[in-house]
Structure 1
């Protein structure tokens, strides 16, 4: 049962006195969607100077720096939310869900380690202050919540039409000279923003891990590739229907959990953590109409808080070590942003029956 506003205020005030920190209202329920930590490349290219580099953690896995990032994100969440985070991990109070990807599964474990180090009776090895926490996930082809890779025939049709749209054709026309330059130097055909997405992902990791960039890459080019990388992420949720089939599923899921908790129709964990990818955050942010084109960094997180009177607050932590998350003003949610106002404001991107709506299809129309 939720505590009264007065009791919550008194608890918050008491906590602030103990911690000597600025007080913020304690939520009733928390949903944290975060991007995994820094990883190694998943591929190379023919003229890659580091294509034979031996990555000690393997291709596509977290680097040691990435492990530290997500562990620190866990400790930062623990500090930021203070007394709201239980002293002891308890499965009915906390739920971790992840993408099928092993870098996400590892990230979920690391965040759990930072958030719930064992204490007192939960310490099972004094030399290892860590405890196993169950991570739930679905296979890639069944996951429409985090990896968002479940087959949706009508989404695929609409995505194909977006790929052939004036917008994407204009991208290709604008970047034609760049495509030729990159094709010549990489030794592989680069003829789409999707190809640049893959290439930039490799080069960015070289930068982050202090490996030298190829001689034909400079800061100006990297900045341009970063913009194109973000443009490519955005086209996966270009239309309202696509937003509904991707980010809308996540929004509907957490709204249903919040509603169940408020109505006391189901026991819902107070802390819900979701380990995902950059495109997971992009899908959700675009469904919320918060931003058009952007690139989430490793360890960034989107946080949904449920407060008294069914009020929802949304925050974004742009990096794992940012001091405080920034509250987001939801453009489609009338203040106060209650669950009902949220549902009404975002009705067009909230699926009612995802599987059924994957069979319904309205022909894509360009703006």
Structure 2
């Protein structure tokens, strides 16, 4: 009874003193809601080589363009790092509703994704189908693959290449880089100075391919397509949470550069093996959404924060969508001026033939008219040998 009297007395005292109690709604902690990853495949053998290279395809255990053991280790370690980074966000065991992985249809990107998933979701308990194998199959989805001229002349002579372009120079550097990485002895002409110059040309080829001239248009047509899908996924996740928690794209250095050029966060260098661009969607304590971007390009360092120009690192979702709108193509096929379909091609050919025939008829008619006008009235051409009156 004494306790009850105390409670009533306290309430009466508050009322008498005019103190109003305001019940505050519970605060919602900031939470991670969705993650998108775009990473490059791991270390690989050269995609191709030059004619005079002493190390041809049979030098590589699986041939050209294939993921190496080092590449497998790189992506397994990236998977482990992602497992640690998203501990508490993702389940410790694989749940298919949480994760969707998409890869380009190349052996090295498919295998990179599989090695990455092995590090991200090692099996435990019921998911371990064999006690001797610390691995479980996880689906990976794909679709079919439908300045210095003297220096360049030296490279052409030493490699046996007859047509040197920025692309072939990039391939030469890539081949030598792969061979050097795997302990093969480079030819005498491939000195450190030559490798450095080839590396600079390689970096220039990336900037030329994705920037320098018509950079905004290139960004829209090259990286804007993937960025459009990422924007769509961020919007859907903020609206309904119907997507998996983790969406992964396993691709190539060119894919990464194209995306980063579209976002205007490219640092001008080739993306290293197993580098990873990260998009994180957060719901703030006020219920609004924000986007943070990171780039992991060194295995022994935390991912670098990336800042979209015109927005803070914690970029409000609506601002992110507004700022990236200009680099999203509205009609990619039309803007790229892709070839028409078979039916359209037949129409175009028919019109071209009709136009050509009409043009020839007009030329013939004009020729006849011109000759008629050039001859005076009563004029008749007299053939050689004909009598003259």
TM-score (norm. length: structure 1): 0.79
Relative to structure 1, is the Cα distance of residues 221 and 132 closer, same or farther in structure 2, using a 3 angstrom cutoff? same
Q: Give the structure 1 partner of residue 263 of structure 2.
A: 288
1:318-360 CA-partner distances (Å, limit 9, x unpaired):
13x1320010111143675122111211221012343344349
Aligned partners of 1:95 and 1:273 also within 8 Å: yes
Q: Give the structure 2 partner of residue 227 of structure 1.
A: 200
Aligned partners of 1:332 and 1:346 also within 8 Å: no
Q: Give the structure 2 partner of residue 166 of structure 1.
A: none
Q: Secondary structure at the match of 2:315?
A: coil
Relative to structure 1, is the Cα distance of residues 336 and 236 closer, same or farther in structure 2, using a 3 angstrom cutoff? same
1:179-236 CA-partner distances (Å, limit 9, x unpaired):
1110111111253211111111100001110101111011122122112112212333
Q: Give the counterpart of 2:109 among 80, 96, 104.
A: 104
Q: Give the structure 2 partner of residue 19 of structure 1.
A: none
2:297 paired with 1:318: yes
Relative to structure 1, is the Cα distance of residues 124 and 50 closer, same or farther in structure 2, using a 3 angstrom cutoff? same
Larger relative contact order (CA 8 Å, sep ≥ 6): 1
Aligned partners of 2:156 and 2:162 also within 8 Å: yes
Deviates more, 1:64-73 or 1:41-50: 41-50
Q: Give the structure 1 partner of residue 278 of structure 2.
A: 303
Q: How many Å separate the matches in 2 of 1:5 and 1:327?
A: 31
Shift of 1:8: 4.0
1:244-280 CA-partner distances (Å, limit 9, x unpaired):
122111111111111111111x610110111010101
Q: Secondary structure at the match of 1:79?
A: helix
Aligned partners of 2:307 and 2:313 also within 8 Å: no
Q: How many Å separate the matches in 1 of 2:310 and 2:122?
A: 39
Q: Give the counterpart of 1:242 among 213, 218, 230.
A: 218
Aligned partners of 1:303 and 1:315 also within 8 Å: yes
Alignment of 1:1-367 (within 5 A): 6=27, 8=29, 27-51=32-56, 53-141=58-146, 174-238=147-211, 239-264=215-240, 267-291=242-266, 293-308=268-283, 309-319=288-298, 321-333=299-311, 336-359=314-337
Q: How many Å separate the matches in 1 of 2:332 and 2:94?
A: 33
Q: Structure 2 regions of 5+ residues with no counterpart? A: 1-24, 339-389
Aligned partners of 1:176 and 1:191 also within 8 Å: no
Q: Structure 1 regions of 5+ residues with no counterpart? A: 10-25, 142-173, 361-367
Q: How many Å separate the matches in 2 of 1:99 and 1:51?
A: 25
TM-score (norm. length: structure 2): 0.75
May I ask how many residue pairs the two structures share in their alignment?
Answer: 307
Q: Secondary structure at the match of 1:83?
A: coil
Q: How many Å separate the matches in 2 of 1:323 and 1:329?
A: 18
Root-mean-square deviation over aligned CA pairs: 2.0
Query: Which of the pair has more CA radius of gyration?
Result: 2
Q: Secondary structure at the match of 1:140?
A: coil
Relative to structure 1, is the Cα distance of residues 111 and 190 closer, same or farther in structure 2, using a 3 angstrom cutoff? same
Q: Give the structure 1 partner of residue 386 of structure 2.
A: none
Deviates more, 1:326-335 or 1:181-190: 326-335
Q: How many Å separate the matches in 1 of 2:244 and 2:123?
A: 19
Aligned partners of 2:39 and 2:252 also within 8 Å: yes
